[in-house]
Structures are given as structure tokens and as C-alpha cells.
Amino acid sequence: MDLLAGAARLEITPAPGIELMGYGARTGRASGVHDPLYARALTLRSSQKGPESSSVVLVSADLCLITPDQALWIRQEVARKVGLVPEAVLVSCTHTHSGPDTGLAAHLSRREEPPYVASLLGTLAEAGIRAWATASPARLRWNRTATHIGRNRRCADGPLDPEILVLQVQDDRGATRAVLYHHACHGTVLGHDNLEISADWPGVASARIEEATGGTALFALGAHADIDPRTRGLMDLAISGQSRGLGFDAVECLGGEVAEAVLESLGSPGGAADEVPIAAAARSIRLPIHLGDRPEGTARKELAERREELARWLGVSAQEFPRLSELEARVRARTTGLPPSEAREWIARARLYVRDRTGRHWTGGAHAVDVEAQVLRIGEGAFLALPLEPTTQVGLDWKLRARNRVPFSGVVGIANGWLRYLPHPEDLADPLAHQSYEVLSSLLAPGACEKLLDLGETLLDETLSG
């Protein structure tokens, strides 16, 4: 066999009492642990000596978010220990909203991260290193299946991608060593009212796959930005407290449905390929943030005009204008009793002002930010990894672009860090786009999606021609 594969799973469950991450409406610290969190890793490489890019390491962690700097440290640490380039290492989050605070806010404010974060990141790196050390002859098999655990949260008939991509890794006897499954749905069955540490539905899915196969089950999050579990309703700016979720019975139900679909898709021993091309390519592109593509004076003037409009509507002077941290509460109080359509409009205007007023907080004061696109080619499949939360249309666009090159492809979101949301041009064309959470939570100016997908195609071609 020319292919070597290794897998590892290390627990990263924090102690109760820490801050949880994922919901601004949450109050209180973690009261206990419902189910453990893990860092899972998979390595794939040729047994023949070749270029560093002919090997890849994938690390998937039961965390909500990490910063690009944190992800880069992990990638560099793994690469240094195993003799790769960082571009061949992918670090992603399952996006559970019931995991530990990883210090994102502290990082942005140039404050020290919580004391446990360094050890946490070190464990993620160690998972990749251990997976590399366990590599032995293997075979790969791609397959696809589907699930209907999600729904579009922007509109009832909005786009949805039910596909699950499944990569099965077998040892030389045909036993399953690892399963990598890829799907697009938020890990938010549990809501802001939950205070127990949990991996949400991906944790249930991975645990059941591992119990059934004896292998390590890694979840790769797809283009999920506008997809919530079906247990949630449509997202409406005019309704507060919508992040309240359901309990652990619902988590078990949805995670179980995914696990069942994945397990049914797995092949029997034999028939998998033991000679498959493995390649990685990555490159950064500098992209402007909102208002960053305009002259400084023009951007300042527009923000000032928006602030004045909000002040007039709130009935306050410029001196009395609320702090940004207080603005939404003031706006919600002002919209009480208004028709929902009018309330949505003013809440959206306030959020757009905050989004563009604080954009440079995410970039260290710069008008643009370097965003990395990474492509991992694994035989007949390829992943485009982005440090963003892409909408469904981004994922569908990528699949359309890639399908003439590889039969199995998908976007991995929150990969190698997090730089907020990435809407697709079709999302922005909606007359009410400015009221959607995905647009209100985006960092990059329009045009970013097209440029990143174009770059992804270039990188995919490089991995196919190597």
C-alpha cells in the first residue's frame, strides 16, 4: 500500500466554572459537564518519499471558535513536529455553542486569554502529532449520504444542502480506522439557557460512529452560516431571546440521525483505494472590510450620517448617543409596540452601524485583512477551508465549481480561525439582505466571496496538477 493513515482523539473537556462561548444572551458560567469534548485528528500521507504537500493533517475540535493566530500556532506546532509545512495542516471547530471561551474577546482587546487556553491549544496540536505517529498502511473510500436535521433560518424556503460527505479510512485488514464526515448545520440545538458543557449534536454523532466502528470520527463543518437545527424557528430581528434552544433529548435525536446516515453509507471491507493522491495548497488574499474599500473621509462621513439618523430616531442629542454596548437595548426599547417590519428595519440599521463602526477592531485598525484559503485534495475529494462562516449558497457554488474536477467536494467553515460570516452574492441580492443576521455579522466588504471561491479554484487546480 502506498497510503499511510493515522488517527487520534484527545479529551479537551474543561472544568465547570469557566465561561461558555457562542451566545451573547447567555448569563452564568458552566455549571457542569453533560458530555465530553474532544480534539480529533486524521493524517494521510504517501508511504513514498515526496513533497511535503503530499501529506495532510486534519484536526477537528469540539470548540465554538478560535482566532486565526491561535489556529496558525497549532498548525505551525504540528508542522514543526512532523516535518510538514503549515499549509498542509487544517484546524477546524465543530462550532458547539456549549464549549469553553477560547479567549476571542480577550485577543481582540489585546488582553490575556483565560489561563487554560494555552493548554487547550497545545492539546489540539498534540492530537495532530499523535495521529501522525500512528500512521500505518490504509485504504480510502468516499461516499455521500443525506440528512434533514437542518433548516434555513433566514426564510422558510431558503436554500439547504442536506448532503453528508463521508470519507472512510480502513486499515490493511478492512477495519475502519477513521471516518471523516462533512455536513452544514450549526451546533446549536442547545440554547443560551444551557449551562452544561456539551459538544451538541456533532458530539453525539461522532460518539455513535466511534462506538459502531471502533474508529475515530471527525466532523468537518460545512457551509452552515444560515442553517440552524430544525428544532429552531426562523431568525427574526424583531424577536428577542431567540437563542433559547431545546434540551439534550433533541441533541441525541439529531446527532443520532446523522450517525445513522453516516453508518449506513460505510462500505464493507475491500473495494477501497490504497493509492490515492494527497495534496495541499494554501494562499492568502487581502480583502477590504466594510467601508474599507472607500476613502477614509467618505467612510467617516457615512458613519456620522448613520449615527445622526439613529440619534434623531431615538430622540437624543449627539452627546446623549448611547455607547455601542448599550445601543441595541435602547433600540429594542424604542421599537416596543412598533409593527414587526418597522422594528426589524431599525434594529438592522443599528446593527449595521455597529458592524461598520467596529470593523477595524477585528483587523487591528486596518481597512483590510489577509484571509487564507486552503484546499486539501484527498483522492477523489477536495475541501476548501475558509476561516469564516459561509452561507449555504457559498457551499453550493463551490460544489458547482469543483464538480468537474473532483466528484466529492465541500467547503469547511471556521477552518484555521474565524473572521465572522461570509454571505454569497445571491444572499446580498435579497432586498432584505441588510436585515439578515449573516450580513449583519459579516466583516468583509461585498466581493470577498467571489474572490475566495476564485482563489479556491486556483488552489484546487494546483493540487490536481502536482
Q: What pLDDT is stored for residue 238 in this prediction? A: 87
Statement to judge: residues 220 and 140 lie in one domain: yes
Q: In degrees, to the nearest 5, what angle opens at C-alpha 222 toward C-alphas 219 and 225?
A: 125
Indicate if 186 and 314 belong to the same structural domain: no
**Tell me, what's the pLDDT at 47?**
63
Question: Are 21 and 138 in the same domain?
Answer: yes
- Determine the Cα–Cα distance for residues 159 and 350; give it in Å rounded to an integer: 27
Buried b (16+ CB within 10 A) or exposed e, 386-395: bbbbbbbbbb
| pLDDT tens digits for range 19-28 | 999 998 899 9
Q: How far apart are CA 101 and CA 68, in angstroms?
A: 15
Q: Which domain holds residue 67?
A: 3-284+370-465
Cell numbers that stand for 347 in this block: 434594529
What are the C-alpha distances in Å from 304 to residues 213, 288, 289, 352, 375? 59, 20, 18, 13, 41
**pLDDT (0 to 100) of residue 239:** 87
Q: Helix (H) and strand (E) counts for the chain?
A: 12, 20
Dist. CA 148–CA 119, nearest whole Å: 36
Q: Which residues of the chain have pLDDT under 70?
A: 1, 47-53, 268-271, 466
* Tens of pLDDT, residues 362-411: 999 999 999 999 999 999 999 999 999 999 999 999 999 999 999 999 99
Q: What per-residue confidence (pLDDT) applies to 225?
A: 98
- 420-452 pLDDT, tens digit per residue, is 999 999 999 999 999 999 999 999 999 999 999
| pLDDT of the residue at 355 | 97
183 and 217 fall within a common domain: yes
Instruction: Identify the pLDDT of residue 273.
Output: 78
pLDDT of residue 304: 95
Domain boundary among 300, 331, 361: 361
| Domain end marker among 340, 361, 382 | 361
Task: Let me know whether 188 and 336 are in one domain.
Answer: no
Same domain, 170 and 238: yes
Domains in the chain: how many in total?
A: 2
Pair 303, 381 in one domain: no
Residues 352, 376, single domain; the answer is: no
166 - beta bridge partners?
143, 181
Q: From 338, 361, 384, give the residue that closes a domain.
A: 361
Q: Could you tell me the three cell numbers for 78?
A: 504540528
Say whether both 320 and 400 belong to one domain: no
Examine the domain organization and report whether 271 and 294 are in the same domain.
no
pLDDT at 53: 54
Do 19 and 62 lie in one domain? The reply is: yes
How does 402-412 read in b/e, with b if 16+ C-beta sit within 10 Å? beeebebbbbb
271 plus 300 within the same structural domain:
no
